[in-house]
Amino acid sequence: MQHTADTGTQISVVENLDAASGKRALITGASSGLGLEFAELLAAQKVNLVLAARRREPMEKLAGDLRRKHGVDILVEPIDLAAPGAAGRLKSSLDERALKIDILVNNAGYGLHGEFLETPLERTTDMIQLNITALTELSYVFGRDMAAQGSGQILLIASLLAFQPVPNFAAYAATKSYVLAFGEALHDELRPQGVIVTSLCPGHTETGFDAAAGAPVSATLRLLTMKPRPVAVTGLRALSQGQASVIAGFMNNIVAFSHRLTPRSMQRASMKRILGP
Ligand SMILES: NC(=O)c1ccc[n+]([C@@H]2O[C@H](COP(=O)([O-])OP(=O)(O)OC[C@H]3O[C@@H](n4cnc5c(N)ncnc54)[C@H](OP(=O)(O)O)[C@@H]3O)[C@@H](O)[C@H]2O)c1
């Protein structure tokens, strides 16, 4: 696996995002957290945007701000991507408007904290539908267009939890293991066709994630927490450099590296300690 240590403090490389100006990016999960940061960073590069998530209002507000500030074209598409067939409907809606996507930021996702058997099954399956099925379908429908035109960029948001099983985040961590494995394999498959696929693995980041997951934040986790801007910068920089995957933040790279040297039973115990009960 190809991973790069990154403190996420420089944003200049995003300014060099390959000939980004005039292109169009689809950002899922663009109503909060990392999605907002991707939108701001890409709009600053004069990339036109399609913003997709369930909540229209925060996306309309963001779109208004970014149009005023950067003069880019922005379409807001309120959609529940966990609904079966949502990715296809989003693609058809963009095709009807003849909007071509050059950059896909597959970011929408959420976690579920707690014991698997104590969590209503439909909440787990809804999360799998969003984190895995929608992400896969979006990669397919937009990846095919990109491969046909011989260029394109796809950023998948995995997680530091992708690297080991995590008790009390069992299904969520497993969805992110899927995203990372899928993304790295696609990187090799699509590169010869001119399409770059990069998987970003954020560690704990200050977004709406904890509230959505119902997750406590332990004192140790607080020490490892990053702001969303450097995490988004790390992902876009890795994408522009054509990397297969990247872990955001120096400390998160240390955690992932140290886990490679420890037995899986110890990895599970350490993640449980860091993430709290
Ligand atoms: N924050 C962290 O600690 C962390 C760490 C590792 C990985 N990640 C990953 O980073 C990505 C972004 O999350 P975040 O941290 O920025 O959390 P966030 O602030 O909660 O953002 C999640 C985004 O996903 C959207 N979303 C949720 N359900 C959706 C659905 N059914 N259909 C369409 N959009 C949906 C939300 O919008 P609506 O509610 O408006 O639909 C929101 O825009 C996720 O894939 C997450 O797993 C986060």
Given a contact cutoff of 8 angstroms between Cβ atoms, the answer to whether 147 and 193 are in contact is: yes
Q: Pick the atom of ligand 1 nearest to 108's CA.
A: 24
Longest pairwise C-alpha distance within the chain: 52
- The per-residue b/e assignment along 150-181, b for 16 or more CB within 10 angstroms, e otherwise, is eebbbbbbbbbbbbbbbebbbbbbbbbbbbbe
What is the per-residue pLDDT for 61? 98
The residues of the chain scoring below 50 in pLDDT are: 1-13, 15-16, 18
Angle between helices 121-128 and 170-190 (to 10 degrees): 10
What is the per-residue pLDDT for 269? 87
- At the second CATH level, the architecture of 12-109+145-275 is 3-Layer(aba) Sandwich (3.40)
What is the per-residue pLDDT for 19? 55
Residue whose Cα lies nearest atom 28 of ligand 1: it is: 109
Pocket of ligand 1 (CB under 6 A): 29-35, 53-55, 80-82, 107-111, 130, 157, 159, 202, 204-205, 207-209, 212
What is the per-residue pLDDT for 163? 95
Instruction: Give residue for tokens 């904290």.
Output: 113
What is the per-residue pLDDT for 108? 98
How far does the centroid of ligand 1 lie from the alpha carbon of residue 33, in Å?
7
Residue whose Cα lies nearest atom 33 of ligand 1: it is: 53
What is the per-residue pLDDT for 276? 66
How far does the centroid of ligand 1 lie from the alpha carbon of residue 262, in Å?
30
CA dihedral sign of residues 171, 176, 180, 185: positive
Is the whole model's pTM more than 0.85, yes or no? yes
Give residue 21's identity as a one-letter amino acid code: S
Would you kindly state where each structural domain of the chain is located, as residue ranges?
12-109+145-275
Let me know if 172 is a catalytic residue: yes
